[in-house]
Amino acid sequence: MRIRGIRTALAVIVAGMTLAFHGMLQAEPVDKALQDKLRKALEQPERGLAIGTIEASTVPGIYAVQFVAGPVVYATADGKYFFLGDLHQVTGDGFVNITEQRRDVQRKELLAAVDPKDMIVFSPKGEPRATISVFTDVTCFYCQKLHLEVPELTKNGVEVRYLAYPRAGVGSDGYSMLATAWCSDDPQDTLTRLKAKQSVPEKDCDDNPIAEQFQLGQTLGVRGTPAIVTEDGRLIPGYQAADELMANIGLK
């Protein structure tokens, strides 16, 4: 068990995300000369601002510039102007958040690179009808409440895959408790007992994935727990009861 390659996956997927996002939004490729111009204008290595990808947005003359381990900004072709924030498209059915669609692709791709063996997984009997990935913290009340919904979720064919997200950061009490669960001989039982506020002897192991998964959560836009990510990469922040969550992922 234990995580292998999240750091590599982050770099590879930032570089490879272009094709997936272009295919989704049918954006035009950006020629090398324009990419070089935007990199020269916007990259600031001395401040840790390195550009991962540059893509044409759906707005003519505006380019989506993804900084490594940072935000996406929308820049003019000469690189003299950019804005930070979500880009929305007006359609006949309302507003579409283009930037959030991009994040969905990123979340889906990055989570696909995580070995389920590095998660604590609660599986239904038989083939899952759906899978959710949940960033969790043992000390979080709503994480504890969501965990009580897991039997109902698995009963209805939903596989719950837990990833660690110690809200107080690496080295906190929450981190230690999550490490105890992940390093346990029976991670499912230990996590359940910890969320029920039962006393469990502290345990750690050199290859626990807590810090890496915490970093992954931050990269995916997790700002609190529980944070639920669907199979298509949508982020659902906060607690939802089993019935509400199943309806949200299209099972009801």
- Residues that are catalytic: 137, 140, 143, 167
DSSP result, the chain: ----SHHHHHHHHHHHHHHHHHHHHTPPP--HHHHHHHHHHH-BGGGTB-EEEEEE-SSTTEEEEEETTS-EEEEETTSS-EEES--EEEETTEEEEHHHHHHHHHHHHHHHTS-GGGSEEE--SSS-SEEEEEEE-TT-HHHHHHHTTHHHHHHTTEEEEEEE--TT-TTSHHHHHHHHHHHSSSHHHHHHHHHTT--------TT--HHHHHHHHHHTT--SSSEEE-TT--EEES---HHHHHHHTT--
Using CB atoms within 10 Å of the CB of residue 168, give its burial: 0 to 12 exposed, 13 to 18 middle, 19+ buried: exposed
Residues pairing with 49 in the sheet:
44
Q: Does residue 37 contact residue 44 with C-beta atoms inside 8 Å?
A: no
